[in-house]
Amino acid sequence: MYVDLKDAGSAKSESLSVQGWQAKLELGFAHHDGKTVLEHRRHFGPLTVQRPFYPEGGVCHVYLLHPPGGVVAGDCLTINIKAGTDSAALVTTPAAGKFYRSDGKLARQQVSMTVSSNATLEWLPQETIIYEGARVESELRLGLAAGARFIGWEILVLGRPAANEGFTSGEVGMNWQIFRAGELFFRERLIIDAKAFAANWGLNGHSACGTLFACPVTAVQLEAVQQLIGESAGRGVTLIDDMLICRALDNRADRLRDFFQQVWRTLRPDVVQRDACAPRIWAT
């Protein structure tokens, strides 16, 4: 269901303006006859997907759509994705997400992903722009079954450097939880406010930051990413068991996004067992 304020009654419009959009999306991928299909799709509010694309045979490429184009105080976006056994799906977005300046209330995004045995999920949204003064709480929960394969990233842009806007006010809370076979494997809580944005122990004024996760990865792929980084500043990578974690800081979002795409191209043949096939939307 898509709700449009222009078509809603005055009482409903007033309620939504106070409470914000409560948008939800559920996606379920399944393997049938040699390819992955979007078997389950349910949405409420302004959050949906385009029809699936198949630029590389059996892998299902899906683009998330948020028609309002941005998230304001009081909004909550909830996304649930399940990749069934033997399925292979890539989820991305057609443009950067935006969280606008807040009047004091939080804007929330909650993403839950479950990857079943021998399934592959790639979570590769374009960057999220956090406007100065925004208050954002973002949670991401990832559940990986035995034999599951995953590559995913989150890229944040604080302020709008091109408009001479920094991040002198506002706050972003990022909460990652990764479970392996039902057991908590990794948890990270990151809070970025104006102090953390400016401090040398924080972002040191870098407007773009990001984290990439991939598994299963071996020391061979770790070395390949280390060679890709070389002596570049603001880049780092580590391996915890078979989970690779790559982090990056930059003053330009496009440069950080290009770096993560290079890491993805480097890892994908081994992690996903397919050569890189970039979504067409990335080139527009």
Q: Amino acid letter at 94?
A: P
pLDDT digits (tens, 9 = 90+) for 2-43: 222 222 333 333 333 446 778 999 999 999 999 999 999 999
Q: Amino acid letter at 268?
A: R
pTM above 0.85, yes or no: yes
* Residues paired with residue 63 on neighbouring β-strands, in sequence order: 92
Residue 162 confidence (pLDDT): 82
Residue 67 confidence (pLDDT): 80
Can you give the residue ranges of every domain in the chain?
Answer: 22-283
Say if strands 88-92 and 120-123 run parallel, antiparallel, or are unpaired: parallel
Q: Work out the burial of residue 233: count CB atoms within 10 Å of its CB; fewer than 13 is exposed, 13-18 middle, 19 or more buried.
A: exposed
Q: How many residues does the chain have?
A: 284
* Residues paired with residue 156 on neighbouring β-strands, in sequence order: 128, 209
Six token digits for residue 180: 């392996």
Say if strands 120-123 and 171-180 run parallel, antiparallel, or are unpaired: unpaired
User: For residues 100 and 131, is the Cβ–Cβ distance under 8 A?
Assistant: yes
pLDDT digits (tens, 9 = 90+) for 69-98: 789 888 999 999 999 999 999 999 999 999
The Cβ of residue 193 has, within 10 Å, a number of other Cβ atoms equal to: 17
